[in-house]
Amino acid sequence: MPDTGATSQPGATRFSDIRRFGSIDSTNAWLISRAREGAPEGLVAVADHQTAGRGRLGRTWEAPAGTSLLVSVLMRPPLDGEHLYLATAVMALAAADACRVEAGVDPDLKWPNDLLAGGRKLGGVLAEAMAVSGQVEAVVVGAGINVNWPADQAGPPEGGVALSQLVGFEVDRERLLASLLASLEDRYEALRDLSGQAAQASEYRRRCSTVGRLVRVDLVDETFTGTVADVTPEGHLLIDVGVCLRRVTAGDVVHLRPA
């Protein structure tokens, strides 16, 4: 896979300027740098391997070269600060759409950024904002999906799973990428008006398996448990802790089995 060379477009979408890398530190980091240089919305970075792939809370994302779809897109979304989470939501929904279309796997969405299959982690989404003078000028959203894990290896770490393990055959990463970007085009376009934003937020809530679940929430200074009542229009969790609803804007959320 050549480095930084544009590729033929997989479909007629705004996300058709694709730069490919055999190995890179982070597709998100590369696009953030391009955003600072004034790159237009729609630029895409795809890598076979990341040496410094990141997840939430500074965690690393590690996978052997060629096993995962590692893609980031540059967005300049028409969203106010309270609704920027929709950039993450539409990427997660598009990634789930692509898994369903290309592999027949319909992942659950775990708040705030994971794709789950049978309770195991299939992928994740990470959004990073670029701000100028306190104003968000761009958002880079990356997705990592475990696609074809080597048969001679146990599988992705930390209870993860790959599409190939679920369906019993190798999944075409190029077709998966094309499906993801096609779905993202439609979902991102919907964010241009309030009704479209509401529709994407509603679908995210409907497909979020965290809603209705007993969870443990790990914050910086405390841990508590409760049942998730809803996801707010701002993307926050509302958790029923028995005496009130607690709002969680960020933190580690672990799905628990009922006692």
Contact 216, 223 (CB under 8 A): yes
- pLDDT value for 53: 58
The conformation of residue 143, written as its DSSP 8-state character, comes to E
- Please provide the DSSP assignment of 57-113 as one string: GG-B----TTSEEEEEEEE--S--GGGTHHHHHHHHHHHHHHHHHHHS---EEETTT
State both tokens at 55. 């997840």
| CATH 2.30.30 domain residues, the chain | 214-255
- pLDDT value for 223: 95
Sequential pLDDT tens for the chain (259 residues): 445 554 545 567 899 999 999 999 999 999 999 999 999 999 999 999 998 755 554 556 567 888 999 999 999 998 988 899 999 999 999 999 999 999 999 999 999 889 999 999 999 999 999 988 778 899 999 999 999 987 766 667 677 999 999 999 999 999 999 999 999 999 999 999 999 999 999 999 999 999 999 999 999 889 999 999 999 988 999 999 998 999 999 888 999 987 6
| CATH 3.30.930.10 domain residues, the chain | 5-207
- Output the CA–CA distances (angstroms, integers) from residue 62 to 48, 123, 144, 145, 162, in the order listed: 12, 12, 10, 11, 13
- pLDDT value for 259: 64
Place of tokens 């590729």: 7
Class level of CATH domain 5-207: alpha beta
For the segment(s) 214-255, the CATH number from 2.30.30, 1.10.1740, 2.70.98, 1.20.120 is 2.30.30
